Amino acid sequence: MEQTIKVIGIGEEGQESLLPIYEQWIHESDVLIGGKRQLSFFPEFKGEKVMIKGGLLSLVERLQNETKKVVVLASGDPMFYGIGNYLSSKVNLEIYPYLSSVQLAFAKMGESWQDAYFTSVHGRSIQGLAQRIDGLEKVAILTDQENSPNRIAEYLLTYGMIEYRAFVAENIGGKNERCRWFELGEMVDEEFSSLNVVLLKKQRPHPTWSFGIEDEEFAQRKPDKGLITKKEIRTLSVSNLQLKKDSIVWDIGTCTGSIAIEAARIAKEGEVFAIEKNEADLENCKQNMLKFRTDFTVVGGKAPDGLKEFKDPDAIFIGGTAGGMETILDICCARLKEEGRIVLNAVTIENLAQALQAFKERNFETTITLVQISRSKPILNLTRFDALNPIYIITAKRKKGDLK
């Protein structure tokens, strides 16, 4: 008969954190599974102990075929950035959570936590954290040894996030518990236990940026009228990409990074990949990334070189190809995810015709918007209009049922 597997959350106090019935289940089990620290809380256990190491595939395989009584130990709440969520999708489980480290940390901080934003850099890249938390009032961050409080402080200072103070809770709930407030600059050289949670609280106002950032806010080269996708064109182009919060986006020919930055601020939980061949523009792009608190991957080079290193996209913006459109579209159309979109801006009717033919040959449906914008400009005590260059915005999507 198949046994129901129990996953029990445990705190830093070890057995003291458990209800008596949980202890009973543990001692009545045949197999006790957990990390080294969790297993060390039960030196008297008589059954088989299995330490979790590396990935969880082998553990899942064992649990799927297990007939003995099994208890899996997890830290805090197994369903809060824990193994419970993954295991429950593969195996029939009963979950018995303990207080999460974040819940305990907010209690020590003396703050409510239902209105906080939660994220984890435990075993994950810190990249993208800047745009995820920018402007938020309260943030809880799960850490690891690499992405420590020190590293988090350095990272946030890079993006000028000095409006935050940090509350660091170490060994929360244990005998060596320590909770302290820090300015970010103070955290950089401080020493911390490897078991910690970082809470950020916004203490000072900071400017926020809404969709459609003004052109003059961007660092840019300025021959003629400025090498930047103008705000009106940018907002229309990005809206046509139909981005979601977790979209993977390519920006080919990013120049100042204006499209990539607007995209990253929408796809906060996704990823943006950008490429630019001009070194001066590339430096401006990096400067703009810091100013607008967007952390994405930008590489120097001429497309299609470098695109193979990017993740498969949900959306692609092509602002400039400097030749080689056929090869670029071959790659973009082949790697675009199903129901994804490509938005291409063209200035000349020749490029428009070439793009339309190329999309047609690849079985993509296209729509075209000709955008002719004029902006008001004062002249003495009067007002006239100054015309921007007309732009063709081409939006392409794969025809339904076509999986090429």
Does residue 285 belong to any structural domain of this protein? yes
Q: Using DSSP, state whether 328 is helix, strand or coil.
A: helix
Task: Kindly report the CATH number assigned to the domain that includes residue 270.
Answer: 3.40.50.150
Please give the pLDDT value at position 3. Answer: 65
- On whether residue 209 sits in a domain, the answer given is no
| Same domain (yes/no): 119, 69 | no
pLDDT interval class at 136 (50, 70, 90): very high
Q: What share of the chain is helix, strand, coil (3-state, %, to 5)?
A: 30, 25, 45
What residues make up the domain containing 386?
Answer: 215-398
For residue 208, being part of any structural domain is answered with no
Does one domain contain both 53 and 122?
no
Judge whether residue 117 has pLDDT over 70.
yes
pLDDT digits (tens, 9 = 90+) for 192-244: 999 999 999 999 999 889 999 999 999 998 765 567 999 999 999 999 999 99
Evaluate if residue 390 carries a pLDDT over 50: yes
CA distances from 60 to 55, 86, 349, 397 (A): 10, 9, 58, 39
Domain boundary among 99, 124, 155: 99
The answer as to whether 127 is a domain residue is yes
5-19, 96-110, 320-334: lowest mean pLDDT where? 320-334
pLDDT, tens digit (0-9, with 9 covering 90-100), for 233-261: 999 999 999 999 999 999 999 999 999 99
Cβ pair 388, 225 in contact under 8 A = yes
Residue 367, pLDDT > 90, answer yes
Tokens of 331: 């790659």
Tell me, yes or no, whether 197 and 232 share the same domain. Answer: no
Per cent of the chain over pLDDT 90 is 80
Q: Domain boundary at 68, 99, 130, which? A: 99
For residues 134 and 10, membership in a common domain is answered with no
Do 165 and 191 sit in the same domain of this protein? yes
Q: What is the 3-state secondary structure (H, E, C) of 58-122?
A: HHHHHHHCCCCCEEEEEECCCCCCCHHHHHHCCCCEEEECCCCHHHHHHHHHCCCCCCCEEEECC
- Average pLDDT in the chain: 93
183 and 308 in a single domain? The answer is no
Tally the domains of the chain: 3
Domain membership of residue 46 (yes or no) is yes
Position 231 in a domain: yes
Q: Are residues 249 and 388 in the same domain?
A: yes
User: What CATH number did the domain enclosing 30 receive?
Assistant: 3.40.1010.10
Q: Residue 107: pLDDT above 90?
A: yes
Amino acid at 133: I
Both 53 and 161 in a single domain?
no
Indicate whether 380 and 349 sit together in one domain.
Answer: yes
- Among candidate residues 168, 202, 236, the one where a domain is terminated: 202
CATH number of residue 171's parent domain: 3.30.950.10
Q: How far apart are the first and last CA of the chain?
A: 47
In a shared domain, residues 262 and 392: yes
Confidence of residue 360 (pLDDT cuts 50, 70, 90): very high
pLDDT tens digits, residue range 5-17? 999 999 988 898 8
- Please tell me whether residues 367 and 225 are part of one structural domain: yes
- Residue 194 domain-assigned? yes
Tokens of 74: 């997890």
Do 230 and 374 sit in the same domain of this protein? yes
- Position 403 in a domain: no
